[in-house]
Structure 1
Amino acid sequence: MPLEAFQQSEPLTLGVELELQLVNTHDYDLAPYATDMLRLMDKHALPGSVVPEMTSSMIEVSTGICRSAAEVLSQLTPIRDALVKSADKLNIAVVGGGTHPFQLWHQQRIYDKARFHELSALYGYLTKQFTIFGQHIHIGCPDADAALLMLHRMSRYIPHFIALSASSPYVQGQDTAFDSARLNSVFAFPLSGRAPCVLTWKEFEQYFDKMTATGVVKSMKDFYWDIRPKPEFGTIEIRVFDTPLTIERAAALAGYVQSLAAWFLETQPFTPAEDDYLVYTYNRFQACRFGLDAVYVDPATGQHMPLSEHILQTIDQITPQAARHGAAPALQTLRSDVANSQNDARWLRERQAREQLLGEVTRQASRRFRGEAI
């Protein structure tokens, strides 16, 4: 199958996808209610879409095309409210977070969809272990070559995205000591990690043709890269975010991505190169393991610094772009959290330290998703 043509999109427009947990209201374990939720959600006129995911205790929602973080939030709010209303009818709850804290992977059911069954046959137990929950952010690009430049420039900031969104410290009832354990499950897939460092669409088409010729790849969906082009939308898609506990956090992260992208387009701050990836995996690990307390290695200079310091420096750099695109409140929220070393992983650990019961922590997280003050 040839690579799709890169479609036109309005530069710097946003689209947000959220993979969400469906849990029962007895012990707050995952519950296989995706089919019922889809049926009820179909009765609501909403922006974007609501679709199934790999296992039947998951659901994915998405916005339509948005032009600001505020518009992302304005679309996610009625989607969230409809989810809550539908879940209440089923006596279940919807929760954010990158992993469910105590679900057992072998108990999950593959959703009845041909592609999911094909993936299950290929990847075995990894498919059920893929009961993890991420936020994907699409950003519109001027053209195909600009998209690849954007993709590789964004790669330097992957640790920012991981640490700011980290919400998966617990797996199967255990504290993993990672702020984002979710990405360890993604990395198990053979076509995960970073995209090849090619900077023109012609080169990318050649790479894609070589991959399809091997029979390993049939479409862009087969790449589980941290960032990948989405030619059918005219975007790049950033995939490393854990699903936040609140839609407000999800919208703020979208504002951060948009501001960074605007800075790239306006200033062309650096030309990406293969050497940018010398420390990529190390920086990625640091952010997953330590969150906002990670060390960041600048790929251009080799300088080591606290990741939180690099995030704050970046926020200062992109403040003019944030102001022009209505993302200043989003960046202020993130700045405050970084200064206080606060992310959703920290919130979950603090609640567990107080409650000593992950089911109760999940119940409280479900209330946060509803928009209630906790």
Structure 2
Amino acid sequence: MSTGLTVGVEEEYLLVDRSTGENVPRAGEVYTGLPAELRSHNRAEFRPCMVEMVTSPAVELAAVRAEVATLRTATATAAAAAGARAVAVGATPVGEADRTPTEDSRYRGIVQHYGPIARDPAVCGCHVHVGVPSRGAAVDVCRRVRPWLPVIQALAANSPLHSGVDTGYASWRGVQLDRWPGVGPTPHVVSEKEYDEAVASLVESGVMLDPGLVLWHARPSERYPTVEIRIADVCATVGDAVLVAGLVRALVATALSTVHDTDDPVADHVLEAAHWNAARVGLAGTLLDPRSGRARPAWELVEELWERVTPALLRSGDLDEVGSELSRVRREGNGADRQRAILSRTGSIAAVLSSAELGRAQGTR
């Protein structure tokens, strides 16, 4: 059984030195070390200390699970052969000596345009693509999912460490990305024309270098017939990635099925506050409900999200699988909670990075 909506996942992994934990620029070596049949799943990333792997579009969530596991294992093996460790953490945990971007004219242009911001330490995300009938439908979906994306962000938060310490944030990646122009909630626009006009104005201002630098939390993909949701940190485990992919697809399916319902616009400043709140506390406190403007226990909002997408999960046959992963996160915490538990128990960031290494038991379940 299926909704008919395809789903695909882009994951960015960090390459770190096995001894020091600092980022190392070995992406080229990792690429050549991948099995030939998997190299087409690799995408060049902004920093040579990052590896991006992309799953094929799939209708069955089980296929996403299997392919994420395969790509993680292959990346771990290639990284080890290159003398590095590939880890699933959302922000640079220790340090990055060389912040030179990957040799690419596009990336060089970004550095020249944005200056020091483009030399911030590397961050790694999980982007979910969901197939939609048209670009117009994609614009509509981007508007309708806006109030729920802070909840997805809180569930996926996996970057509490930076510069060798706990930042106090569940997602330091989220805070760091806020320095970039063009990152933030998708504007409340009601048509392709309004969307294109908004992008054109921002390109004209220089906030965006070009339409490819639309970095909103939800956007119509420039390359694929999909909606791309870009709010999640790279997930700590395969199970976490399946949870995020399943919830996002169900949220998109729900938005498509309620296209004729009235959607009350939420002010951008309220959404920005909700996202900051999600990055700050993750699931360990209260989140701002953008619809009411009030702080509520994080798990209350998770439960409301669950109720909202349950019909879509039933239609796709994903209810039990996604529900099982969500129950696990409720027991164990999100990635940030688990990193902190290891740090508290061991006092060692090296132990955190060891547990986050792709291909370990924690990273493949």
Separation (CA, whole Å) in 2 of partners of 1:190 and 1:330: 37
Question: Normalized against structure 2, the TM-score is what?
Answer: 0.91
Structure-2 change in CA distance of 1:205 and 1:121 (3 Å): closer
Q: 1:91 to 1:218 in 2, by over 3 A?
A: closer
Task: Extract unaligned runs of 5+ from structure 1.
Answer: 1-9
User: Equivalent residue for 2:28?
Assistant: 35
Q: TM-score, normalised by structure 1?
A: 0.89
- Contact persistence 1:179–1:289 (CA under 8 A): yes
Q: CA deviation at 1:188?
A: 0.4
Query: How far apart are the structure 2 equivalents of 1:339 and 1:40?
Result: 37
Q: Which of 66, 69, 73 matches 1:74?
A: 66
Which among 75, 97, 118 is matched to residue 83 of structure 1? 75
**AA at the equivalent of 2:361:** E
Say if 1:251 and 1:373 are closer, same or farther in 2 by CA, change over 3 A: closer
Match of 1:23? 16
Aligned positions of 1:241-260 closer than 5 A? 241-260=232-251
Q: Which AA in structure 2 matches 1:33?
A: R
> How far is the alpha carbon of 1:36 from its aligned partner?
0.8
Q: Does 1:322 align with 2:313?
A: yes
Q: How many residues align structurally?
A: 361
| 1:172 paired to 2:163 | yes
Name the SS of the counterpart of 1:159 in structure 2: helix
Following the alignment from structure 2 to structure 1, what is the Cα–Cα distance between the partners of residues 24 and 120?
15
Q: Secondary structure at the match of 2:117?
A: helix
- Paired AA for residue 55 in structure 1: R
CA-to-aligned-CA distance 1:108-165 (integer Å, 9 cap, x gap):
3321111111222222332221500000111111222221121112111111111111
- Map of 1:4 onto structure 2: none
Identity of aligned residues (%): 26
Residue aligning to 1:103: 95
Which residue identity is paired with 1:233? Answer: Y
Q: Is the 8 A contact 2:355 2:362 kept in 1?
A: no
> For residue 186 of structure 1, what is the aligned residue in structure 2?
177
Cα deviation for residue 84 of structure 1 reads 2.1
Is 2:233 the partner of 1:234? no
Matched, 1:370 2:348: no
User: CA RMSD, aligned part only?
Assistant: 2.3
* Maintained 8 Å contact 1:110/1:117: yes
Shift of 1:33: 0.6
- Per-residue deviation, residues 45-98 of structure 1 (Å, max 9, x unmatched): 138620221221111111111113212112222212221221232232211010
Q: Distance in 2 between matches of 1:338 and 1:276?
A: 30
Query: 2: CA distance between counterparts of 1:283 and 1:86?
Result: 39
Aligned pairs (5 A) from 1:43-58: 43-46=35-38, 49-58=41-50
Match of 2:5 in 1: 12
Unaligned stretches of 5+ residues in structure 2? none
Could you say which residue in structure 1 is the equivalent of 2:52? 60
- Matching residue's letter, 1:62: V
**Aligned partners of 1:24 and 1:31 also within 8 Å:** yes
Partners of 1:276 and 1:70 in 2: how far apart?
37
Q: Secondary structure in 2 aligned to 1:255?
A: helix
Sort the Cα spacing of 1:360 and 1:150 in 2 relative to 1 into closer, same or farther, 3 A.
Answer: same
Q: Which residue of 2 aligns with 1:156?
A: 147
